[in-house]
Amino acid sequence: MTDTQTISGKVYSHTVIRVPGKAHAAAAPFVLLLVELDNGRRVLGYFSGPEPPPIDAVVVGKVDTSTPVFSLLQGQL
């Protein structure tokens, strides 16, 4: 059993990894977000969609592995 924690914040910056290292070759392309959490800390995570959301968009993330997966807060773009 793994505990899943929910976090939220705003997109601080974004990129799309199209040329990955060997360990992530099967996953590419994938979106990486740097998210500024509500508590002020920043965290690097994946985005659930194929294109990154705009900077300052509000996202929510689930943390059940080392890298959280974010999606847009419902009702946003």
| Interface residues toward other proteins, by CB under 8 A | 12-25, 27-28, 30, 32, 34, 41-46, 52, 55, 66-67
Is the Cβ of residue 43 or residue 74 nearer to other proteins in the bound state?
43
Give alpha helix (H) positions in 1-77.
Answer: none
Min dist. Cβ of residue 25 to other proteins (A): 6
For the CA atoms of 10, 61, 74, 11, the dihedral, rounded to the nearest 10 degrees, stands at 20
Q: Cβ(34)–Cβ(61) under 8 Å?
A: no
Query: Would you tell me how many other CB atoms lie within 10 Å of the CB of residue 32?
Result: 16
Is the Cβ of residue 47 or residue 74 nearer to other proteins in the bound state?
47
Is the Cβ of residue 28 or residue 73 nearer to other proteins in the bound state?
28
The token pair at 35 is 């998210």
Min dist. Cβ of residue 67 to other proteins (A): 4
